[in-house]
A and B are shown apart, each in its own frame.
Chain A
Amino acid sequence: ETGVTQTPRHLVMGMTNKKSLKCEQHLGHNAMYWYKQSAKKPLELMFVYSLEERVENNSVPSRFSPECPNSSHLFLHLHTLQPEDSALYLCASSQSRGASTEAFFGQGTRLTVV
């Protein structure tokens, strides 16, 4: 248990569905991240929030929409996804977005788009 909890653990959705991934951290951290992990590819940073403000958006398609209502919660809203979006989606948090701070990860949501 790392103090970062993601739900659901597994999700199967059709291309016309709308769903949301949830992340909650219990570590008192100020920065939260969404990463995508596809088979045989390095982790890809999607979004970064620092003190509830989005500070990074790595050219992610608009069918992915993040939301950070407070420093403990992070959501990823999904709509009209494509099969190539199937992947493990990981949430992480760190003490701050600054240097020398390690990120702690949740267990991930395994997403399958059919």
Chain B
Amino acid sequence: EDQVTQSPEALRLQEGESSSLNCSYTVSGLRGLFWYRQDPGKGPEFLFTLYSAGEEKEKERLKATLTKKESFLHITAPKPEDSATYLCAVRDAGNMLTFGGGTRLMVKP
């Protein structure tokens, strides 16, 4: 059974304080790892797809990386508007999509 574990559950940062969110996974044949951002009361918003170890993708202050066991979402000099819950999900060889519990990020001015 696929498992996705995100840590920490919650993270408080000061504006400008860079940090990383972790997504550890076990999956039978990784066919893609996805990062989403979710604001309160809204649906998840797609950020990145990573397919293979060593791959990296960037968007504004966010950078996602992938190894064979985990993915990191690096946030550089975050702003209050980056506050949200960040979700990680993996798709396996059977095309099942499994989500982690998310990391709730709070960036204070």
A interface with B by C-beta (< 8 Å): 2, 4, 6, 40-43, 45, 56, 88, 90, 92, 97-108, 110
Contacts and interface: CB of A to CB of B under 8 A. Distances in A.
A42 B100 contact: yes
Contact of B41 (A2, A42, A108): A108
A99 B97 CA distance: 10
Given A99-B31, A99-B95, A100-B32, A110 B101 contact: no
Nearest to A58: B96
A107 B43 contact: yes
11 contacts: A42-B100, A42-B101, A43-B99, A56-B96, A99-B91, A101-B32, A102-B34, A105-B44, A105-B46, A106-B43, A108-B42
Contacts of B102: 42
B46 A100 contact: no
Given A43-B89, A90-B43, A108-B43, 20 more contacts: A42-B98, A42-B99, A42-B102, A43-B44, A43-B99, A56-B96, A88-B41, A99-B32, A99-B93, A101-B32, A102-B32, A102-B34, A102-B49, A105-B36, A105-B44, A105-B46, A107-B42, A107-B43, A108-B41, A108-B42
A42 B4 contact: yes
Nearest to A100: B32
Interface in B54-109: 87, 89, 91, 93, 95-102
Contact of A102 (B46, B93, B100): B46
A103 B44 CA distance: 10
B45 interface: yes
B99 A100 contact: no
Contacts of A97: 95
Nearest to B49: A102
Given A41-B101, A42-B4, A45-B97, A100 B43 contact: no
